[in-house]
Amino acid sequence: MIDVFRPGNIAPHSGVYKVTHAQHHAEPHDVTLLFGDTFPVCLTCSKQVQFEVAISAAHRECASAFSAGYLKMRQAQFREWLLALLNSDPFAKFKSLVARYLPSGLRHGS
Ligand SMILES: [Zn+2]
């Protein structure tokens, strides 16, 4: 089974990913991402673009023969990102929209 990734997903491997755009507005092409990178949004088809692993390859800094520190740094970054996600308020965007569109007299229970 081929794993398909969308914009906003986190790259599980460093390597080359095959990119397929919605309505094929662009020819499929390859892009390189590092482990922990966020898959990008397409400027034309936005989040309708998808990514599949073409070639999985360890970044040279992740290969223990070259560096052990980089992998630990990326793991720490991922852990921080995950903690921030877990501690984030899932209704923050909703609240900001309500605050923007709700008449001021109805805010804060007044
Ligand atoms: Zn596109």
Domain boundaries, the chain: 4-56, 64-101
Q: How far is the CA of 80 from the centre of ligand 1 (A)?
A: 30
Q: How far is the CA of 30 from the centre of ligand 1 (A)?
A: 13
Range of weakest confidence among 9-13, 39-43, 48-52, 87-91: 87-91
pTM of the model: 0.57
pLDDT at 84 over 60: yes
What is the rounded CA–CA span in Å between residue 43 and residue 11? Answer: 19
Q: Within 10 Å of residue 14's Cβ, how many Cβ atoms? A: 20
Q: What is the mean pLDDT of the chain?
A: 84
Q: Between 91 and 38, name the one with better pLDDT.
A: 38
Q: How far is the CA of 21 from the centre of ligand 1 (A)?
A: 4
Count CA atoms closer than 13 A to 69's CA, side-chain side.
Answer: 0
Cβ within 8 Å of residue 37, ≥6 positions away: 10, 11
Give SS3 for 32. strand
